[in-house]
Structure 1
Amino acid sequence: MIAIKAKKIDRRTLFTRQAIKDAFITLVKQDSYAHITVTALCREAEITRSTFYLHYDSITAVLNEVLDEALQLPTQHEPSELDTQLGFDYLKENESLIPACQRIGDSDKYQELLMDPDLSDYIVGHIMAHERERVIPALQQKTGLSREDTETLFLYMIHGSFAVNRAHKFVKDPKWSHDVQLLNRFTNAGYKTFKD
């Protein structure tokens, strides 16, 4: 069997991609996502269109990468790590274990993006696509429900959690901490009723 090495990305590529993402975030703070163009993005990043297309095939590709960073979407986790019984203080220090809609950065870097009304459904869909195959089996194990019923719970949890975080403008403060604990208690109580 031949081992395939992962291609190392050089510093110039990393620098350019970061410049594009930073320019994207700057533009979102100035106007909504719907008004961002490749031309404006290139101007803000001080690159050419051909350079942009060397790194991304569309503005949506930039959006997806920025969303992954903003929501701290993990690359892999064991289903057991989704257990919110770990305790809120532990989860607060290890945000990648909190459900995706509850993982938000402490800085205001991504707030305008996450608050953009044109993107709410897209962001929720992005989270669901990324988390579905990690979360659904864990929920099935916790509840004993069918895949179809678990999908319904998953849909409810993601939309509800996103709405609560949006109401807090994605700012971690004592009220946010209280509400996350409340949601986790509610969710855990729900798990127990299905298991009984």
Structure 2
Amino acid sequence: MTKLRKVDRRTVYTISVIKDSFLELIAQETYDKLTVAKVCRKAEITRSTFYLHFDNLTAVLDAVLADALLFDQSPKQALEPLTSIEAFKQNESLLPVCQRIGATSKYQKLLMDPALSDYIIGAIMKHERANVVPGIQAQTGLNAQDADLLFHYMIHGSFAINKQHHFVKDDAWYHELQLLNKFINSGYLAFKQDV
């Protein structure tokens, strides 16, 4: 957890340096190999300075993920049925936040770290649940518990597909996006018809 301190330019700068150093190190080695000492050396700060701002490495990870999720401020689109293949390329409304974060090279290595997948998926789900589950309910007529189950399935599956492509949007990725969006959209319509 980030410690509460008076926020001045020096504090903002130090926190930024710690997070940037953390991301640079993640690009070189996995999270389970990182230490506070390595982050401090990279950031050129003392351990006491580190602990003035963060309790541990998990707190830095949480702050970096919060930045990534806040960075993803693309307009929230309603989960509307998609009707044409071209619409799939232009409308990524069924695409979870993990791809939008992954589109920024700063976070790609973090997302690819096998030691962090479950932790990152959990952070994404926590961030997106309040926006996405009601959209699934509106599209399907399902109750909140069942919509949450679909949300859980979609986030885990989408993260796996995006990770398989190293979070790079290429032709193969767009093909899979179209296929999966069509699958999801058809499922939404089927649920809607059952209501």
Q: TM-score, structure 2 length as denominator?
A: 0.81
For 2:170, give the aligned amino acid: D
Residues 42-191 of structure 1 correspond to what in structure 2 (within 5 A)?
42-70=40-68, 74=72, 81-83=77-79, 87-88=87-88, 90-91=90-91, 98-191=95-188
The Cα of 1:83 is off from its aligned counterpart by 2.1
Change (3 A) 1:175 1:84: farther
Q: Indicate the RMSD between aligned Cα atoms, in angstroms.
A: 2.8
Q: Contact conserved, 2:136 with 2:147, CA < 8 A, in 1? A: yes
Deviates more, 1:161-170 or 1:67-76: 67-76
State the percentage of identical aligned residues.
Answer: 54
Work out which of the residue numbers 26, 38, 41 in structure 2 matches 1:40.
38
Change (3 A) 1:158 1:182: same
Q: Which residue of 2 aligns with 1:15?
A: 13
Q: TM-score, structure 1 length as denominator?
A: 0.80
Distance in 1 (CA, whole Å) between partners of 2:49 and 2:91 is 40
Q: Contact conserved, 1:72 with 1:103, CA < 8 A, in 2? A: no
Runs of at least 5 residues in structure 2 that lack an aligned partner in the other structure: none
Q: Contact conserved, 1:28 with 1:112, CA < 8 A, in 2? A: yes
Q: Contact conserved, 1:70 with 1:105, CA < 8 A, in 2? A: no
Change (3 A) 1:100 1:168: same
Distance in 2 (CA, whole Å) between partners of 1:82 and 1:99 is 13
Distance in 2 (CA, whole Å) between partners of 1:91 and 1:11 is 40
